[in-house]
Structure 1
């Protein structure tokens, strides 16, 4: 359990039991961890995701981009532009927006 569901059940966004289970797993698949229900909290559900990344030593998100020939015609891009696309986007997760404080400002 992580995020909002964990907050509701345990009062923590990342219970230690979740960290233990994740460390034993071969893979972890996550969906959304938060929602507007918890927006008023200073440490919202997303802190669970950040804590999990830290506990497991994760620092990058790998996002492969590869064209599937069967889906070329479903793309708004021209087929000749998609031919042979094979890219890996590496997104660093240890700084920037992930660790900045949310705030509103008016101009």
Structure 2
């Protein structure tokens, strides 16, 4: 899959603008608003077919609150050194406030 290192806009367009069968784009808003449907599609894309109870348990364990608690208690290795925390606020639509470019449909 081609990837452009230019402006943020060009970079985002490089991985969201084309039909890449090996690439699955998911938005935080989709996971938040329709978690079972979104995570179900993601699991299907990965070739998985989890039972409904297992999918719901995975969704619960990946909730913003659970992940924030884990970060507070055990840290989070992906957190940048300069950042106070990896997980910020968990608010839907926040990307529009934080990023200078948001592609169509996002």
Question: If the TM-score is normalised by the length of the shorter chain, which range does it land in?
Answer: under 0.3
**Higher Cα Rg, which structure:** 1
TM-score normalized by structure 2? 0.22
